[in-house]
Amino acid sequence: MENRTALVTGAAKGIGSAIALRLARDGYDIVANYHSRPQEASQIVQEIESIGRKALAVQADMACVSQIRKMYDQALERFGKIDLVVNNAGISSEVYFIDATEEDFDRMTAIDWKGLYFSSQFAARSMIERGIKGVIVNISSNQTEGCWPRATIYAPTKAAVSKFTKNAAMELSLYGIRMVAVAPGYTNVGWLKGDIRLEAESRLPFRRFASMEEVASLVSYVASDEAAYMTGNTVLMDGGATLPVVAANDFV
Q: Which residues have CB under 8 Å from 101's CB, separation 6+?
A: 95
Give the start-end residues of each E strand in the chain: 4-8, 28-34, 55-59, 84-87, 135-139, 178-184, 187-188, 210-211, 234-237
115: phi then psi, degrees, rounded to nearest 5: -60, -45
d(CA 12, CA 20): 9
d(CA 114, CA 152): 17
Helix crossing, 116-130 with 65-79: angle to 10°?
Answer: 30
At 190 the three-state DSSP class reads coil
Q: Write the DSSP symbol of residue 186.
A: S
Q: Are 13 and 26 in contact (CB under 8 A)?
A: no
User: Given 28, 34, 72, 154, which residue is catalytic?
Assistant: 154
* 238, HSE (Cβ side, Cα atoms, 13 Å): 25
229 classed as catalytic: no
- Of the candidates 86, 95, 94, which has an alpha carbon nearest to the alpha carbon of residue 62? 86
Give whole-number Cα distances, 154 to 11, 111, 200, in Å: 20, 10, 19
Question: Which residues are tagged catalytic?
Answer: 154
